[in-house]
Structure 1
Amino acid sequence: MATIKDVAKMAGVSTTTVSHVINKTRFVAKETEEAVQHAIKTLKYSPSAVARSLKVNTTKSIGMIVTTSEAPYFAEIIHAVEEHCYRQGYSLFLCNTQNDPEKIKNHLEMLAKKRVDGLLVMCSEYTQTSLDLLSNFSDVPMVVMDWGPNGDTDIIDDNSFTGGYLATKYLIDCGHQKIGIIAGELSKTTARTRYEGFEKAMKEAHLSINKNWVTEGYFEPEDGYECMNKILNQTALPTAVFCCNDVMALGAISAITEKGLRVPDDISLIGYDNIHSSRFYAPPLTTIHQSKSRLGAQAVNLLFERISQKDNENLPQSQSRIDIHPELVIRKSVKILS
């Protein structure tokens, strides 16, 4: 394998000149540059990425820490982040933590050793332990996106209250008055605000909330299945159910089908997130859309901005905010009652 010394020898120049040609760090005469490029091509020389990063003080890579990449919603955000990085010439190191502080610590140390230019942290909730670990890496440009009101992090305002209200109001506008909800953990910010939007729409329509039709899950299909079965085991059934994410709606559809009932003829369903697969459910799911691609791109652009400001200590790093505006997507899982 050819080395930079081999290139320099063939081109009749110093290794320093070869380095300047490769990294474009100093003016080199056209004839000299052509000789170096010819030697590189002839010898099929490939510069060491590590050595080059030491020269130009950048690795053109960023790290991303997430709770899990398995959840469809996060998977689509990760895809958007990776695509945006690729277009900017950056590589992405993805780390799953499952909210384990030991994993977070090990991943942070690994990313620091790899000399990533910046770090994007995107978890649904944070513990104080994980926030303390992140604060120890303050010398690395970082964007810590949070769906909750933490004072030390950047904020993703997904307007969950508005989304929960939109979903429930659509069911009401379609003539439904007996409405249940499969919520996430109501102790968590996102789940609680979606439920509060549900409450507001029901209150505005002067409809009572049947506590037997209010269930909590963990945003997984198994939870949708189990929660829907709890509702189906009641003597009186709702005509519609608001599932606070699409994968729980998938589990709910399975439970309804197993009981010999049909969506939407017997029970209507509306989901949340508009993940890619929701349009292929049986029936295609009416849901609340959140733009994962826009969120991913905005988060990466914010990180690039902080990377570019890294050497300017006079620029304070202020808390930033990314707004996501929910939109109703109407498909075929909600029946219009006459």
Structure 2
Amino acid sequence: MSYTMRDVAKEAGVSVATVSRIINGKGEASPETIAKVKKVIERLNYKPNMLAKSLSERKSNLIALLIPTLNNPFFPELVREIETEANKNGYQIYLCNSDDQRSKVEYYLDSMVNHYVSGAIINSLHVDEKDLSLLEERGIRTITIDRANFEHSYSAITVDHKAGAQDAVTYLIQDNQCKNIVFISGPKGEKSAIDRLLGYKLSLKQLESPIQTKIVYGDFGMESGYQLIRKLLKDGETFDGIFSSNDAMAIGAIRACYEFGIQIPEQVKIVGYDNINMTSYLHPRLSTVDQCKTEVGALAIKELMNLFNNGNEKPNHYELKPKLIIRESS
């Protein structure tokens, strides 16, 4: 049986308003009354109606998390990290998957307001500063992570993808003596893909080595990595190193190499980017760049908690440094 606040009040012999004040820690009541009400709540196993609470207070224990896709394995793993930290702090995640479509972003922005979310973690190319300002004006504290294509005055976490890519390419050239490298980039115009491309080019420029290079553009999906490398091999291209803008495309590239009888790492060395969980279980295990999803999740929630608890807290900008993880594929 599901009990209501009215049932608790009747059983404790107090008013509904008194029960409400005690549950929410507001107003005064004698220690005896508080103890009596809490005992009834425990005996009836009463659970407050959070929807009703959010409607009355125009605030909930929800944090909206807007992500671009669930197809890339990195994002479900990032969601889990953020959700774990949110739950530790008494908050639930309202997951908003935009599929990288502005129309879905607009739908979810409206939905965040309608659900009275307390905060919003934004990872999308299709959100601008006006969107953030609208949320903030409605009392929804915001923080962007990684993919924002613009500078703004609200809280933000970025990862130095340029440095991460530079480390990976330098490793392939200096440590592995690769002379002919294929770079599988993400989509043109996508900020993190652009940053990784810049890091790739910066490494080549600084090393000043006689390296043959080729850039191909994928969509961050396994199939695109597979098809791009398969086409190069079918066309008779040769190379001894592959750096992929994410792990999913690197996994596709590994499959294409095996289909053409190319041994990894003996003939081609491969480094991915993201450090998704499955990379530790591939054969060979994939070298990759860890882009700090655990740290991002913890920091995003910590920043929101600071903003929630301190109304005058100024927004902060953080930049994290990714780490090269060397495994058998290189």
Bigger Cα displacement from structure 2, 175-184 vs 160-169: 175-184
Q: Could you say what secondary structure the match of 1:307 adopts?
A: helix
- When residues 262 and 115 of structure 1 are mapped into structure 2, their CA distance, relative to the original with a 3 A threshold, is same
Alpha-carbon separation, structure 2, partners of 1:228 and 1:92: 38
Q: Is the 8 A contact 2:181 2:241 kept in 1?
A: yes
1:249-297 residue CA offsets vs partner (Å, 9 max, x unmatched): 1000110011122111221111111111111112101111121010111
* 1:330 aligned partner, one-letter code: I
Counterpart position of 1:261:
262
Paired position in structure 2 for 1:322: 318
Offset of residue 35 of structure 1: 2.3
Give the distance between the partners of 1:239 and 1:266, measured in 2 at CA: 6
Gaps of 5+ in 1: none
Q: Is the 8 A contact 1:63 1:95 kept in 2?
A: yes
Partner of 1:126: 126
Q: Does 1:65 align with 2:86?
A: no
Contact (CA 8 Å) 2:58, 2:116: kept in 1 or not?
no
Structure 2: distance between partners of 1:191 and 1:101: 19
Q: Indicate if the aligned counterparts of 1:148 and 1:190 stay in contact, CA closer than 8 A.
A: no
Q: Return the letter of the residue paired with 2:142.
A: M
Q: How does 1:267-286 map to 2 (within 5 A)?
A: 267-286=268-287
C-alpha displacement at 1:29, in angstroms? 2.1
Contact 2:243–2:272 under 8 Å retained in 1? yes
AA matched with 1:157? T
Equivalent position SS for 1:136:
helix
- Of stretches 191-200 and 88-97 in structure 1, the one that deviates more from structure 2 is 191-200
Pick which of 95-104 and 56-65 moved more: 56-65
Name the residue aligned to 1:303: 304
For the residue of structure 1 that corresponds to 2:285, the secondary structure is coil
Tell me, yes or no, if structure 1 residue 136 matches structure 2 residue 138: no
Contact 2:225 2:251 (C-alpha < 8 Å) held by counterparts: yes
TM-score by length of 1: 0.87
Distance in 2, Cα, partners of 1:54 & 1:148 = 31
- Taking the aligned partners of 1:249 and 1:223, their CA distance within structure 2 comes to 10
CA distance in 2, matches of 1:330, 1:49: 47
Distance in 1 (alpha carbons) for counterparts of 2:132 and 2:255: 40
Distance 1:234 1:210 in 2: 17
**Would the alpha carbon gap of residues 280 and 15 (structure 1) be closer, same or farther in structure 2, given more than 3 Å must change?**
same
**Contact 2:183–2:244 (CA under 8 A) maintained in structure 1:** yes
Name the structure 2 match of 1:176. Answer: 178
The reply on whether 1:80 has 2:81 as its aligned counterpart is yes
Decide which moves more: 197-206 or 281-290.
197-206
Q: Which moved more, 1:112-121 or 1:42-51?
A: 42-51
Q: Give the 3 Å change call, closer, same or farther, for CA 324–7 of structure 1 in structure 2.
A: same
C-alpha distance in 1 between matches for 2:232 and 2:78: 32
Report the residue type matching 1:326 in the other structure.
Answer: P
Q: CA RMSD in A?
A: 2.4
Paired amino acid for 1:171:
L
Change (3 A) 1:169 1:26: same
Partner of 1:191: 193
Structure 2 distance, partners of 1:232, 1:155, is 41
Q: d(CA) in 1 for partners of 2:206 and 2:30?
A: 75
Whichever residue aligns with residue 323 of structure 1, its letter is: E
Contact 2:168 2:243 in 1 (8 A): yes
* Counterpart residue type for residue 136 of structure 1: L
CA displacement 1:190-225 (0-9 Å, x = unmatched): 2222222222322333334535x3211111111111
CA distance in structure 2 between the aligned counterparts of 1:275 and 1:241, rounded to whole angstroms: 18
Where do 4+ consecutive residues of structure 1 move more than 6 Å?
Answer: none
Number of corresponding residues: 325
Contact 1:63 1:116 in 2 (8 A): yes
Measured in 1, the distance between the counterparts of 2:297 and 2:183 equals 29
Per-residue CA shift, 1:78-98, capped at 9, x if unaligned?
Answer: 111100010001011101112
1:41-91 superposed Cα distances (whole Å, 9 cap, x missing partner): 444433322333456664211111111133112222111110001000101
Q: Superposition pairs for residues 18-29 of structure 1, below 5 Å?
A: 18-29=19-30
* Range with greater deviation from structure 2 (197-206 or 85-94): 197-206
Q: Which moved more, 1:86-95 or 1:23-32?
A: 23-32
1:274 match: secondary structure: coil
State, as a whole percentage, how many aligned pairs show the same letter: 29
Say whether residues 1:106 and 2:114 are aligned partners: no
Contact (CA 8 Å) 1:181, 1:241: kept in 2 or not? yes
CA distance in structure 2 between the aligned counterparts of 1:290 and 1:264, rounded to whole angstroms: 23
Indicate conservation of the 8 Å contact 1:181/1:242, yes or no: yes
Query: Matched residues in 1 for 2:179 and 2:211: separation?
Result: 10
The more displaced of 224-233 and 26-35 is 26-35
The one-letter code of the counterpart of 1:92 is: I
Task: Give the deviation of 1:109 after TM superposition.
Answer: 2.1
